[in-house]
């Protein structure tokens, strides 16, 4: 079974700082990897989707990279803002199971004004 790990579990940074969130997965046979943010009491908002053939995706201040062979992805947030405070989750769609997304437990980010 695919195991997804996110480090760190929590992160607190001052406003304006650039930061990196890490995601690792145990089986490199994936269809894609998706990064989400989750605000308290809310569902998940999709941030970036990287297909297995891609190396990175960018959206505004966010950049996600994928190194499938080493089982790693990073989410880079530039010039962080207090509104970025949320839990960030990564999820992989596994080739072996096809339909399932396997989620990490998330990184709780606090951006201090």
Partner 1 sequence: GAGVSQSPRYKVAKRGQDVALRCDPISGHVSLFWYQQALGQGPEFLTYFQNEAQLDKSGLPSDRFFAERPEGSVSTLKIQRTQQEDSAVYLCASSLGQDQPQHFGDGTRLSIL
User: What is the separation of C-alpha 61 from the centre of its chain, rounded to a whole number of angstroms?
Assistant: 14
CB of 113 to partner 1, least distance (A): 26
Neighbours of 38 (CB within 10 A): 15
**Site membership for partner 1, residue 97 (CB under 8 A):** yes
Residue number with CB closer to partner 1 (31 or 76):
31
Give the Cα separation of 71 and 66 in Å (integer): 8
Residues 13, 85, 65, 92, CA torsion sign: positive
Residue whose structure tokens are 């990287």: 50
CB of 67 to partner 1, least distance (A): 20
CB of 61 to partner 1, least distance (A): 19
User: What is the separation of C-alpha 49 from the centre of its chain, rounded to a whole number of angstroms?
Assistant: 9
One character per residue 38-77, x = contact with partner 1 (rule: CB under 8 A): ---xxxxxx--x-x--------------------------
Q: Write out the residues near partner 1 by the rule CB under 8 A.
A: 4, 31-32, 34, 36, 41-46, 49, 51, 89, 91, 93, 97-106
């Amino acid at each position: 079974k695919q195991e997804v790990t996110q480090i760190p579990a929590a992160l607190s940074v001052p406003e304006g700082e650039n930061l990196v969130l890490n995601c690792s997965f145990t089986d490199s046979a994936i269809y894609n990897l998706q990064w989400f943010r989750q605000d308290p009491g809310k569902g998940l908002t999709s941030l970036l989707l990287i297909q297995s053939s891609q190396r990175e995706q960018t959206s505004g201040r966010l950049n996600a990279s994928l190194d499938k062979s080493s089982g790693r992805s990073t989410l880079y947030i530039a010039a962080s803002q207090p509104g970025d405070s949320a839990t960030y989750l990564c999820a992989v769609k596994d080739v072996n199971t096809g339909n399932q997304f396997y989620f990490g437990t998330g990184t709780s980010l606090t951006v201090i004004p």
